[in-house]
Amino acid sequence: MSGINYSEKIPNNVNLSEDRTLQRALEHWQPNYLQWWNDMGPDGSQNFDVYLRTAVSVDPQGWAQFGHVKMPDYRWGIFLNPGEQDRKIHFGDHIGEAAWQDVPGEHRANLRRIIVTQGDTEPASVEQQRHLGLTAPSQYDLRNLFQVNVEEGRHLWAMVYLLHKYFGKDGREEAEGLLERNSGNADNPRILQAFNEKTPDWLSFFMFTYFTDRDGKFQLCALAESAFDPLARTTKFMLTEEAHHMFVGESGVSRTIQRTVDVMNQLKTDDVAKLRAAGVIDLPTIQRYINFHFSVTIDLFGADQSSNAATFYSSGLKGRYEEGKRTDDHVLKGNSYKILSVEDGKLIEKEVPMLNALNEVLRDDYITDSKGGIDRWNRVIEKAGIPFKLTAPHKAFHRNIGSLSGAKISPDGRVVSEAEWNAKVGEWLPTNEDRAYVASLMGRVVEPGKFANWIAPPVMGINRQPVDFDYVRFN
Ligand SMILES: [Fe+2]
Ligand SMILES: [Fe+2]
């Protein structure tokens, strides 16, 4: 079951050749996908040989094989984790019943919407990142960008497989739509706003892969609990790839900080102007990037009270993060949860039915997880003996969805006046000047083992290769 058949046009471990109609439909979609990759994928990279990992089985040990490949020849395919015998639904109103191997009619519309929304983010991030290859700070980083890109492409394949196999004509139309919408396109944008924003520089890329790919992790974890078994199995395998994306983000920010604190110590200064003159990214700017990416990403979890969230849970479509490890009744009727809102100029907590607050539950789990990396970044600063601490902004800061939408809250969680917000926003969120400065540092470094001045080399190479390995052959 877990072995992947690479002799077929579409590599897969789902016995695709036994379902000729489905195979034909996907083989019809495949050239459109490749056309999309050529048009909207990594800019100017078609002929590069890139040291990529390709899944060869879905076993936890050794599923990846490394080698130089041209990205348009990457073996995108369909890989599901093995099924669990007699798997039971373990939350919601159907708890204890057999997991679904097909889509129940009454949940078809909601499941399709969940799959399309998840699927839409995958090619969107490739589009958002398509120009970054032109300014990569090293071959090592360029390779990591491309690895993330090809795997997001495969995540799109995963969702398209579900649409084609289980949703008939509607599913095939949705699969076409996933290639037609484009990030930032005024007429036909991606579904979620954060995926229409630009990823203009490498600090943004690292923040995106740390914070926003982690949103992906939490959404996938919630879907890995689903009563719809094929969705649970495909998202479980996607999660193994997602871990690398977050590593790219965490280590990228960490190396940026490392280089900054090294220069701070060499020059014995924390003066922003002097550090910028020395070509590194000052810590207050890094804090503002964190504030931006953290706040934009937590909006992705949706409104703090949502009847859709309640429906998705009760009907078994989408669980909580680590649903199986929780010790409550997994039905949640009568339970409550605290959410925030602003009343009479104050931030207050109020208790609401937990089922309606499940977006908030997932957001809070995400926040706990994402703070871990910020602690690890602080250790780099501490080790260098520099008295500066990065923090996650308050959950209510700079929100655009739910009851906190548009409220003026400082990063430390105070309700502030419009005047204070306007006076301080330049200290809290990246300014045009910050972004222009970071952009000015971006320039492609292509020699193996060389790194741009603003970032430290990694501690180790990829797949035990040396740091100065030729990760990308430009041809
Ligand atoms: Fe993904
Ligand atoms: Fe990802």
How many CB atoms are closer than 10 A to CB 101?
11
Using an 8 Å Cβ cutoff, are 392 and 290 in contact? yes
How far is ligand 1, taken at its centre, from the CA of residue 238, in Å?
7
Question: What values do phi and psi take at 162, rounded to 5?
Answer: -60, -40
Q: How much is the pLDDT for 2?
A: 52
Ion ligand 2 residue ranges (Cβ < 5 Å): 213, 216, 242, 245
Low-confidence ranges of the chain (pLDDT < 70): 1-3, 60-62
Global model pTM greater than 0.85: yes
Which residues place a Cβ less than 5 A from the ion ligand 1?
Answer: 122, 152, 155, 216
* Structure letter (DSSP) for residue 72: G
pLDDT at 62 (0 to 100): 63
Give the integer Cα–Cα distance in Å for 282 and 377: 14
Query: What distance in Å separates the CA atoms of residue 282 and residue 260, rounded to the nearest whole number?
Result: 6
Centre of ligand 1 from the C-alpha of residue 156, in Å: 8
Ligand with smallest separation from the Cα of 237: 1
Sheet holding 64-70, edge to edge: 64-70, 49-55, 472-473
Name the DSSP letter for residue 212: I
Q: How much is the pLDDT for 58?
A: 78
Give the Cα separation of 73 and 153 in Å (integer). 12
Q: How far is the CA of 241 from the centre of ligand 1 (A)?
A: 8
Q: How many angstroms does the Cα of residue 346 sit away from the middle of ligand 2? A: 37
